[in-house]
Structure 1
Amino acid sequence: MASVAIVELHRNSGNCIKTVEEIVKLERKIFPKHESLATFFDDELRKKNTGLLCLHVDGELAGYAMYSWPSSLFASITKLAVKEQWRGKGHGEALLKAAIEKCRTRKVSRIMLHVDPMRTPALNLYKKHGFQVDCLIERYYSSDRNAYRMYLDFDESK
């Protein structure tokens, strides 16, 4: 059985630079250049209201989720990615749950994200965890690729 761990990357941790380098490589491999945060990853991590969760399987980086909370009203899951060989094994779901919990601790009332309607597994995962489609944003990713803006509202009684 594989050893799985999700840890928050802290800017001043000893392995931060190496981990960010691995994430940037993965980012470039998974996302088209115009969608990739690879050139901005370090800048994003410097922001006070940004968090990065790293998924390790048997000590190897297998995925990551970046989230931010730009205001007290909402948070955003800005990236969620899993290496191809680790997809379909529940790792994306584990990362999503961890990101939702991290956002919940920020006492926001809503989490938002964007997803390509053609990425059915991702869309189904978000819907499974209560995200709802807010609207379709045409040409969000490129001239021929749209995005759903999705949201998850927290029940204030919890």
Structure 2
Amino acid sequence: MSSDTSSRDRVYQVSSNRERASHKLRYVEGSAPASGECRLCAGSLAQAGKNDVPVTVQTAGSEDIARLAFFEKQLYNNDAYSSLFFYQALRQWPSGFLTIKSDEKVAGYSLVVPLEGSRATLMSLLIGKSFQGQGLGQVLLEQAIESATADQWHELELSVSPDNAPAIKLYKRAGFQSVNTVKDYLGPSEDRLIMRRTL
């Protein structure tokens, strides 16, 4: 794995506008609104205009954790990843733990963790409520894929609710293909569609 993190920083222009030791895997669909439009990928870089603000994707640091834990609690309440989980992730998977910042403010994160062999999984991708609808989820997903490629993973996997059409569309646009649906993947009645792409 590469230890050079500074080379992964990316700057874009976009329109401004979980406390237990065990955790469930959750994915991008957790932030999808009931209206059917994915709040992570709503909006577009092409819509950037006079209110443009700098957006940076970089490896996470301990100074980001309080903010990420706050976003988790906002969106997932009792199922939220805790600060403890994020500190563990920072120690165990530093190169796969990215944050996205909008105007220098932490706006969300992605976490890619190893599977067996040369495979990895996109364990989580989240954009905070106040930053949704700006296209940041799409930018972060693209950078998570790029980071996984740089870490020399050959395949990236994720799971998503079979009913979450907007998130599935986002993943397909990023090159993921549906593999199979696993019943009770995250517990009773929590089925998930498994998707993968080669890197």
**TM-score when scaled to structure 2?**
0.66
Out of 172, 190, 198, the residue aligned to residue 127 of structure 1 is 172
Q: Does 1:68 align with 2:119?
A: no
| Structure with more of its chain in strand, by fraction | 1
For residues 34-83 of structure 1, the C-alpha deviation after alignment (integer angstroms, 9 at most, x for no partner) is: 4x332522222211575211111112111110112345511111110112
Unaligned runs of 5+ in 1: 10-15
Q: Does 1:109 align with 2:154?
A: yes
State how far apart, in whole Å, the 2-side matches of 1:117 and 1:2 are: 34
SS in 2 for 1:99: helix
SS in 1 for 2:186: strand
- The amino acid of 1:59's aligned partner reads E
Counterpart of 1:20 in structure 2 is: 65
Q: Does 1:37 align with 2:81?
A: yes
Would you say the 8 A contact 1:49–1:68 is kept in 2?
A: no
Counterpart of 1:12 in structure 2 is: none
Q: Does 1:142 align with 2:193?
A: no
Change in Cα spacing, 1:58 to 1:49, as seen in structure 2 (3 Å) is closer
Shift of 1:89: 2.1
Unaligned runs of 5+ in 2: 1-51
Would you say the 8 A contact 2:182–2:193 is kept in 1?
A: yes
- The amino acid of 1:117's aligned partner reads P
Change in Cα spacing, 1:51 to 1:86, as seen in structure 2 (3 Å) is same
Would you say the 8 A contact 2:95–2:147 is kept in 1?
A: no
What value does the CA root-mean-square deviation take over the aligned residues?
A: 1.9
Out of 92, 106, 110, the residue aligned to residue 47 of structure 1 is 92
Q: Which has the higher contact order (CA 8 A, sep 6+)?
A: 2
Counterpart of 1:96 in structure 2 is: 141
Structure 1's consecutive aligned runs of 4 or more residues displaced over 4 angstroms after TM superposition are none
SS in 2 for 1:142: coil
State how far apart, in whole Å, the 1-side matches of 2:193 and 2:78 are: 20
SS in 1 for 2:191: strand
Aligned length: 147
Change in Cα spacing, 1:50 to 1:28, as seen in structure 2 (3 Å) is farther
Shift of 1:32: 5.2
- The amino acid of 1:103's aligned partner reads A
Out of 118, 123, 128, the residue aligned to residue 163 of structure 2 is 118
- The amino acid of 1:43's aligned partner reads Q
- The amino acid of 1:122's aligned partner reads A
Would you say the 8 A contact 1:50–1:69 is kept in 2?
A: no
Q: Does 1:6 align with 2:64?
A: no
